[in-house]
Amino acid sequence: MAEDIGIDLGTANVLVAVTGKGVVLNEPSVVAVDTKTNKVLAVGKEAYEMVGRTPGNIKAIRPLKDGVISDFDITEEMLTHFISKLNVKGFVSKPKVMICAPTNITNIERKAIIEAAQKAVGGEVFLEEEPKVAAVGAGMDIFQPTGSMVIDIGGGTSDIAVVSLGDIVASKSLKIAGDVMNQDIIDYMKQHHKIVVGEHTAEKIKKTIGTAKASSSNDQHMDVRGRDAVTGMPISVTITSKEIATALAGTIEQIVNGAKNVLETIPPELAADIIDRGIMLTGGGSMLADLDQVISDELTVPVVISEDPLENVAKGAGVLLDHMSKSQPQKQRRRFNLFGNRKA
């Protein structure tokens, strides 16, 4: 019997869950390619270490942009590499595969994701919407006749959805998430400190002292090295978490406004449920310090960060596939609408 797999095909990271085993792979969505020969040199963690440090003929490529495929061939190579690393015996009989994607992708983008997965893995491929799967992975019971709200902040997109009876009632997908936050920090450092830093450094700053709320009681400091924007020479400056809160304020405001827009469109009964149950915050971006408090203050609704925000989408895909494999009649599968975007 094949061991089915769920894949969180993220802009920043790819996570793979195998039914019965949980998340078995978590690597950056980066591929290093020799532009002279078009040969893939490294994939995942090894390729990520090359970002910003490669010679002219080696290019570190992120084949996914804003949660969708921007380079089909490289995505296929990346998926094939990751799946081969798993070395799961059941794959010889072609597993069922669930891929998770943002809520607002086009039919062309949907087809590209499915085709890449079919070529890399084989077997049946299903496409499901990220916020719904993230809610399941976070432990929410989305099949009850009550409203559940999830905000999934990834690398390329922030997906906001209200779910009831196993389907999405209202949703919004914003191309504003972790990558944009990194760029906010890069821009702030150049504008206010006249220092040029790369993507790796911006990510490190965000994880080390990044916060969504400036607080004098918890103002951390960090020394940052980079290139002087004026002289071009290496320099070091000291920045504070208050500054990072200022740099990220605009992006966080857009995410909050997206959540407000979704709440404004749902029936009042579901809005009442969300006041009682709160909002689940998930995805790597949700780990930014004090982000839950800022969103809660703005929406006047309780906000909870899930236990494993990075793994919720992949875990949720695994849970749904496991649910499907337990000899559920086809009719019942349709009733639960587990695969709202249909099989390939």
Contact 110, 118 (CB under 8 A): no
- Residue 317 to residue 250: CA distance in whole angstroms: 32
* Euclidean distance between the first and the last CA atom of the chain, given in angstroms as a whole number: 21
Helices (H) and strands (E) in the chain, counts: 11, 18
Residues 6+ apart with CB under 8 A from 34: 41, 57, 58
- Residue 5 to residue 96: CA distance in whole angstroms: 6
CB atoms within 10 A of CB 238: 10
Q: Check the annotation: does 207 bind a ligand.
A: no
Contact 69, 63 (CB under 8 A): yes
Please name which of 306, 316, 336 lies closest in space to residue 98, comparing C-alpha atoms.
316
> Which parts of 7-150 fold into alpha helices (H)?
45-48, 72-86, 107-121, 130-137
Q: Check the annotation: does 271 bind a ligand.
A: no
Q: Check the annotation: does 245 bind a ligand.
A: no
**Ramachandran sector of residue 98 (left: φ over 0; alpha: ψ -120 to 50; beta: rest):** beta
- Residue 64 to residue 258: CA distance in whole angstroms: 23
Structure tokens at 269: 């009964």
- Residue 101 to residue 337: CA distance in whole angstroms: 16
Phi/psi at 262 (5° precision): -65, -45
Q: Check the annotation: does 157 bind a ligand.
A: yes
Using the 8-state DSSP alphabet, how is residue 211 labeled? B
Residue 25: which H helix or E strand, with range? strand 22-28
Q: Check the annotation: does 203 bind a ligand.
A: yes
- Residue 327 to residue 211: CA distance in whole angstroms: 46
Residue recorded with tokens 């206010």: 192
Q: Check the annotation: does 201 bind a ligand.
A: no
Q: Check the annotation: does 206 bind a ligand.
A: yes
Q: Check the annotation: does 226 bind a ligand.
A: no
Which residues carry a binding-site annotation?
Answer: 11-13, 155-157, 203-206
Which residues carry a binding-site annotation for ATP?
Answer: 11-13, 155-157, 203-206
